[in-house]
Chains A and B, each alone.
Chain A
Amino acid sequence: MTTSSNPLAIDIAGLEFKNPVIPASGTFGYGLEFLPFFDISKLGGFCTKGLSPRPLKGNPPPRIAETAAGMLNAIGLQNVGVRAFVEEKLPKLREYDLHVIANVFGYSIDDFLEVVAVLEDAEGVAGYELNISCPNVKQGGTQFGNNPAMAAEVTESVKKATKKPVIVKLSPNAPSIVEVARAVEGAGADAVSLVNTFVGMSIDVYTRKPRIAFATGGLSGPAIRPIAVRMVYEVSQAVKIPRIGIGGIATWMDALEFIIAGASGVQIGTANYADPCVSLKVIEGLETYCRERHVTIAELVGTLRV
């Protein structure tokens, strides 16, 4: 066992993270919103809300509905647009010591390239996470994530446009998430993150209307965790590039499940809403576990005993 002073330090996609905990896109705003709660420099990094070339208005309300152990959302990627992010948010984020991962969204490959081009000119973005898996927009979104060939094409195009690490965020709604993972690995992706939300639906039996205006929405929260852990495990068997596990993480034990299944890093989503400080608690729990067992996170990755 190592005697590393920081048992949580880990390398993902060529970036050194002080710990594997990364709040997930769409649940951590632009990071600055959490400053009233804690020092975000304590995080390994965070993923921004999905950034598109131009601001998006998003879907009409109601956009969310709570369900058993989770929630449905159809926000429709309302965001300030990449240029406002660079001008208004990034300068403030540069004051903090954490990896800012820009979650990139587009309706076409050109959109992805435009967002990346704007961010390449700015300072303070450590890497990209390509959101090819949003189920809540009428066009685009999952058309990339559900199709291995198209997923590979967008990955390859973005890889040519940057030297920074490119993480591809996978959709659990694809016919085979393993096939998409293999395809983006082949196209040069530096890592994959999984999973985005599962398409779901909830109905108000009194009005007989869907409980969210978009009819279907993305399911997140503890309800999806066992499926997400299984998918991380399967993808870990199939690709060599690092995996970042996402889905229903609310405690350090949840995070460790993903790490043992094969993830080098973890993202925390919905749990941030219920407890803005949840990421800190997960970091503390992981640290205690590692110190008590004289083990590092890096040593635990993919150590499932089967």
Chain B
Amino acid sequence: MFDVVATVSENRHFGGYGHLTVTTDRIFESGSGQFAMLKPRGAFDPLLRRAMAIYRHVSDGKSTSVEFIYQVFGRGTENLRRLNPGDSVECLLPLGKPFDISPVAVGGREALLVAGGVGSAALFLLAQQLRREGVPTRLFLGGRSTVDLIGLDDFVALGIPVHIATNDGTRGFAGFVTQPLEKFLADNADDVKEGKYVAFTCGPTPMMKAVAHICEKANVLAYASLEERMACGFGVCVGCVAGVRCDDGETDFQRVCVEGPVFRCDQLVWIE
């Protein structure tokens, strides 16, 4: 983890989203599921940085560029949207614990990625990693409309099967992404029973909760990458906690930025 001032090399806008690429001389690795805390250099309004999943990471030995996809819905993300190539961004990264792919990276298993909206940005590095490790992977991608299917082309380019759902029916299944997931699990009930699948989800809380519920019923091991409001991103404010069930049955509050952002769904206590 370090704090670096990076330079914007690109900031594209589409729909209510932005796709930001920043470059730095620092050479480092980003693990799948890790994130950054960002703000334009010198900005004091709003005061705090914004937590953003690392979408893509490219290092060429001389410099590193990191990409983020964000939804514009407040002043912090609006400030990110206004960044132009050449502008400076304060980046604290890489933060949080990466995905643990060991349960799925054993022969014969398959990873099911389930993403809603901008949540897919937290799963692209994972999809890349799974492909690299030769783990069969498929994606269930949902959004309100076609424009909300974040990263679709990049996932398709990885060569993994993608099941699409949009609420308005403009693309793929008309409805929630959890429906194609349920259907898939029902169609492959024998494989499900044999423990072939491990699920990884990121998206709006109600969606992740539903995915957790479906996986629990089907006895499928599932991980969720949580998004809590964060002040610091590196463990000192204790503001970003999630309820986690401990072995003694008690609920503990763990920091999403340090102990997470990825948690096992069967250990999460969903609070809303």
Contacts and interface: CB of A to CB of B under 8 A. Distances in A.
A276 B234 CA distance: 10
Contact of B237 (A37, A62, A73): A73
A275 B90 contact: yes
B45 interface: yes
A63 B1 contact: no
Interface in A243-282: 250, 270-277
Interface in B180-229: 228-229
A274 B239 contact: no
A292 B84 CA distance: 37
A70 interface: yes
B53 to A, nearest CB: 19
Contact of B231 (A34, A37, A49, A71): A71
B3 A37 contact: yes
B231 A64 contact: yes
Contacts of A58: 238, 241, 253
Nearest to B251: A57
Contacts of A271: 47
Given A66-B46, A275-B90, A75 B232 contact: no
B232 A65 contact: no
Given A61-B242, A273-B232, A274-B39, A26 B3 contact: no
A160 B237 CA distance: 32
Contacts of B242: 61
A250 B44 CA distance: 9
Contact of A273 (B76, B237, B253): B237
A27 interface: yes
Contacts of A188: none
A60 B271 contact: yes
A272 B46 CA distance: 14
B48 A71 contact: yes
Contacts of B47: 66, 69-71, 221-222, 270-271, 273-274
Given A57-B253, A71-B48, A36 B1 contact: yes
Given A27-B236, A27-B237, A60-B243, A274 B271 contact: no
Contacts of B25: none
A274 B44 CA distance: 8
B44 A29 contact: no
Contacts of A69: 44-45, 47
| A34, A57, A63, A273, most chain B CB atoms within 10 A | A273
Given A36-B1, A275-B3, 4 more contacts: A61-B253, A66-B48, A70-B47, A213-B271
13 contacts: A29-B235, A33-B236, A36-B2, A37-B2, A63-B239, A63-B241, A64-B239, A66-B231, A73-B239, A271-B47, A273-B231, A275-B3, A276-B232
